[in-house]
Amino acid sequence: MAVLKLYGAPRTTSTRRVGTVLHAAKVPFEFIEIDIRNGEHKKAAYREKLPFGLTPYIDDDGFLLYETRAICRYIAAKYPACGLLPTDSKQYVLFEQAASVEVTHFDPSASLVGWEIRVKPRQGLKPDQTLIDKEIAAIDKTLDAYEMILGRQKYLAGDVLTLADLFHLPYAPLLATAGSDIMTRKPNVARWYNELTSMPSWLAFEDGVRTTLQY
């Protein structure tokens, strides 16, 4: 059986989300870089694989999949020993609840901040500080709820680490890059955030995602 292939841009948040989960689940993979600077992902041949013209996607022995959270669910379901996706029905929906919180309450603002501080400067544009401040204030409100949840349990879906926690990783550290300390101001959020950002699977690809055949 062929080794799983990850096609993406090594330093982007989305590719790093998948790389982190592959590493956490100890899944060997070949990394194939997509040249996003020259628009490889907008070409017709690429859109055959990923019609939205974004990165990343995986090819697992001919099975193609895009959308990072779906890819991560697939990896965790295929390699259940990683324990990142609960199988018990109640634990599973608590995971889905937490995953939904990330995608609806955390990601919209965090990815806007990411766009302002990472993408705009690359396009020669100036980040909009008013927008950054507004989005960081919105995330801070969301983190008040996280503080309550994480005061009662270790992780967002219970006392076991799940993909719902890991889904925050690519964007949460960007808030510090944007000059904000909101991830470390509330004690329970800070404990959770510090644990996540110290994980070897997160640190492994600090310099970019790369082919990893052995752990």
Ligand X SMILES: N[C@@H](CCC(=O)N[C@@H](CS)C(=O)NCC(=O)O)C(=O)O
* Residue 147 binding ligand X, by CB under 6 A: no
Find the Cα–Cα–Cα–Cα dihedral 10, 12, 14, 17, rounded to 10°.
70
What does the alpha-carbon distance between residue 110 and residue 180 come to, in Å, rounded to a whole number? 12
Q: Whole-number minimum distance, CB 186 to ligand X, in Å? A: 27
Residue 128 in the binding site for ligand X (CB under 6 A): no
Interaction between residue 20 and ligand X (CB under 6 A):
no
Q: Closer to ligand X at the Cβ: 101 or 150?
A: 101
Between vectors from CA 168 to CA 163 and to CA 173, what angle results, nearest 5°? Answer: 140
- Cα–Cα distances (Å) from 81 to 77, 85, 91, in that order, read 9, 9, 16
Query: Number of H helices and number of E strands within the chain?
Result: 11, 4
Which C-beta is closer to ligand X: that of 54 or that of 166?
54
Nearest CA to 48 among 14, 4, 19, 7? 7
Task: Return the range that interacts with ligand X (CB under 6 A); candidates 62-70, 87-95, 142-150, 157-165.
Answer: 62-70
Nearer Cβ to ligand X, position 169 or 189?
169
Supply the minimum distance, in Å, between the C-beta of residue 173 and ligand X: 14
Contact call for residue 36 and ligand X (CB under 6 A): yes
13 is a contact residue toward ligand X (CB under 6 A): yes
Is residue 6 involved in binding ligand X (CB under 6 A)? no
Closest CA to 24 of 212, 176, 159: 212
User: Is residue 54 within the footprint of ligand X (CB under 6 A)?
Assistant: yes
Q: Can you give the binding site for ligand X, defined by CB under 6 A?
A: 12-14, 36, 41, 54-55, 66-69
